[in-house]
Amino acid sequence: MLSKNGKMLVPMLGVLAALSMAVAVAAIWLQMQEREKRQAKERELVLVLAERDDLRAQLEETHQAKSRVEDELSRVRKELETSLEDLAKATAAQEALSRSVEDRQKEIARLAKDMVQLQSERKELAAQLADLKTEREAIQQRLTDAEAAKTELESKVMELSNQPTVELDKVLVTGPDQAPLPRGTAMPVAAVSSMAVSGQIVVVNREYDFIVMNLGKNHGLSIGQEFQVVRGNEVLGRVKVEKVYDELAAAAILPESQKDSIREGDSVKAL
């Protein structure tokens, strides 16, 4: 029985040994597989850690790049704002310059118009100046003629004053006692204002508006004395003595007088 059992144990022990070896081999294989898996995992972990470090480095670089980009973006924004401000200023300056150019163009147009007008006025003034020169020459000629006429008239007056045929009996000079004074008697100037002196016009010059009357120094006349020109009861105007001779005087016809109505023979009365 034992031997039979012993014979049966031997295969069983062999089977068990084989099983044990198989289990051991399986365990070793499993361990090897597990170790390989673990090593693979470790390698993967190392790779992952390396990638993580790379990612961290890249992330840090990305953060730094982002910070730089943000700084650059802020700088660019500031430059853009500055550029916009400069653009606004440049636009305003350009508009102001455009307005200034328009104003200058308008001013130039106005100045050109004024220049044309000034040139026209200059031509008119030149023409007026030429007319004035011509008129001055004419006036000078008239003055020359007047001086000649005056000299001639003074000569005639002197001739008349020296002629005994002048009708001085028409001159009426009365004294304080109303008695006529003798002809040729000189009267003091102070006495003339208190006496009525009257005479007649012997010459009328209408070109130069003056008259010659038959009163003079011998009748107490003085330069600047005024006389009234009358014809009957009609008052024709007034004259003012400018030249005085012994028996005659030249007097200017004053503007308010009826110059065209005054003629030789009209009476003159001291005012």
Give the residue extent of every domain in the chain.
1-148, 163-270
User: Measured between alpha carbons, how far is residue 17 from residues 23, 26, 159, 207 in Å?
Assistant: 9, 13, 197, 180
The answer to whether the beta carbons of residues 239 and 245 sit under 8 Å apart is no
193-236 pLDDT, tens digit per residue, is 445 689 999 999 988 899 999 999 999 999 999 999 999 999 99
Rounded alpha-carbon distances, angstroms, from residue 96 to 30, 38, 75, 103: 92, 82, 30, 10
Architecture of domain 163-270: Beta Barrel (2.40)
Q: Report yes or no on whether pTM surpasses 0.75.
A: no
**What's residue 146's pLDDT?**
64
Average pLDDT over residues 47-65: 82
Q: Which of 159, 163, 241 is nearest to 199 (CA)?
A: 241
